[in-house]
Amino acid sequence: MEELMDIEQLKKLTPAQQEQVIAGVKQQAAIANAQNLITDLSEKCTQKCITSPGSSLSNSERQCLQRCMDRFMESWNLVSNTLQKRLQDEASAMPNFGQGGSFN
Amino acid sequence: MEGDPQLARFLAALQTETQRQKFTEQVHTLTSRCWEVCLGDSRPPSKLDSKTSTCLQNCVNRMIDASNFMVEHLQKMEKNLGQ
């Protein structure tokens, strides 16, 4: 990403081009996030629910998958809210320090 | 750069998107790890009970604590090496 952030190049953009760049960044982020989420969701839930595969997908496997996906999305939202709160607390604790809690 | 408010706004918008994306990736990583920690061993429950919710919230905060702790420790190790 850094090599794209050439300030001299960015200065040359017209306002319309600037808007296009922002829209492109947003769209790419949305695609990447959806892909990540789907990959994670299917990995976690098939691992959990498809443990001894039969000749067809059973009702209990379907129910398990459904619950797993619902709980995963709930967990995602809870983690998101918790992280947001943590970052806000840290930012207000040290206002000159920007975003704390870098986690990789 | 100060002379061009349009450019400044554009750069600020880019930075906002970058930060938003960093945040979302952090949520992905944490959800994946904390899901394993808090729901890893069980069949998916019919609802998130308060015990599991607390586990997830604690997990997020302790993962960040652990990360900060390890960064501090690495910095100490680096200092000791330099002596």
Domain membership of residue B23 as a residue range: 5-82
CA distance A34 to chain B (A): 11
pLDDT band at A43 (very low <50, low <70, confident <90, very high): very high
Please tell me whether residue B7 adopts helix, strand or coil conformation.
Answer: helix
pLDDT in tens, A48-57: 999 999 999 9
In chain A, what is the straight-line distance between the N-terminal and C-terminal CA atoms, in Å?
17
Q: Which residue from B72, B45, B68 is spatially nearest to B56, judged by alpha carbons?
A: B45
The helix or strand, by DSSP H or E, that contains position B4, with its residue range, turns out to be none
Domain A29-49+56-92, classified CATH 1.10.10, yes or no: no
CB contact under 8 A, A33 and B24: yes
Task: Spell out the domain ranges in chain A.
Answer: 29-49+56-92
Average pLDDT for chain B: 91
pLDDT in tens, B17-60: 999 999 999 999 999 999 999 998 888 999 999 999 999 999 99
Contacts with A29 (C-beta within 8 Å, 6 or more apart), sequence order:
B17, B20, B21, B24
Q: What total number of domains does chain B contain?
A: 1
A25 at interface of B, judged by CB pairs closer than 8 A: yes
Do A52 and B47 touch, CB atoms closer than 8 A?
A: no
Contacts with A73 (C-beta within 8 Å, 6 or more apart), sequence order:
A41
- Angstrom distance (rounded) from CA B9 to CA B6: 5
Q: Which of A15, A18, A48 sits opposite B44 (nearest CB)?
A: A48
Taking one residue from A and the other from B, the number of pairs with CB-CB distance under 8 angstroms is 108
pLDDT in tens, A58-104: 999 999 999 999 999 999 999 999 999 999 998 888 766 544 444 54
Q: Which chain B residues have a beta carbon less than 8 Å from that of A82?
A: 56-57, 60-61
- Angstrom distance (rounded) from CA B62 to CA B70: 12
CB contact under 8 A, A18 and B6: yes
CA distance A36 to chain B (A): 8
The residue in chain A having the minimum alpha-carbon distance to the alpha carbon of residue B66 is: A103
Indicate which CATH number applies to the domain containing B48.
1.10.287.810
CA angle A30, A34, A39 (to 5 degrees): 150
